[in-house]
Amino acid sequence: MLTTTLIIIGAYLIGSVSFAVVVSRLYGLPDPHAYGSGNPGATNVLRTGNKAAAALTLVGDGAKGFVAVFIAQRVAPALDAAAWTVAASSLAVFLGHLYPVFHRFAGGKGVATAAGIVFAWHWPLGLALGVVWLTMAYGFRISSLAALTTAVLMPLGMFYVAGPAPVAWASVAIALLLVWRHRTNIRQLLSGSERSIGR
């Protein structure tokens, strides 16, 4: 049980590194909490006009989700951790991004991190969901709509490819958290006031 706990804590700490904040500091940009949507994520960083910083934020937030789950997948069996360790670590790295201990628990909405997690679980599904996100984002130019669409499809895809495995149930929790973190965007979508990408 101690091993499982340590792996989960490690995943949470990896998730707690906010690349929007780190990259913004490297590029001398404002704190992403202080402008636009106030969300420390790639879409908000893009509002500065710095596409390179936004791209690095996207890659970094996605990579930490992938790395945390990848490590758990390799370490948990080797150390005889609980069977649900990978699922719990997946949720932990996601919660780390949403509520990062290194950034006063003010985190992002988790889209890129969720994508990295799914790629670690089952890369073909991750690729398929990525295509859905890109299609929605470029078709409607609204990041939140693309995120919500893929959030709904993610657990359906996981149950299809993995059955009722712990990671499939973890995908339900992550999807629900994604929707919850986008609750303001949902209200703005319904009122027609949601910001478009690049605006």
Residue found under tokens 């991004």: 97
Question: Total structural domains in the chain?
Answer: 1
List pLDDT tens digits, range 11-63: 999 999 999 999 999 998 888 888 877 888 888 888 888 899 999 999 999 99
Contacts of 93 (CB under 8 A, 6+ apart): 11, 12, 14, 15, 64, 65, 68, 69, 113, 117
Q: Is residue 89 part of a domain?
A: yes
- DSSP annotation of 164 reads S
Q: 71 lies in a domain? A: yes
- Look at residue 165 and tell me whether its pLDDT is greater than 60: yes
Q: Please report whether residue 77 resides in a domain.
A: yes
Does the reported pTM lie above 0.85? yes
- Residue 2's pLDDT is 81
- Whether 36 maps to a domain, the answer reads yes
In this prediction, residues 177-182 reach a mean pLDDT of 95
pLDDT tens, residue by residue, 100-111: 999 889 899 999
Domain encompassing residue 118: 2-191
Share of the chain above pLDDT 90, in %: 71
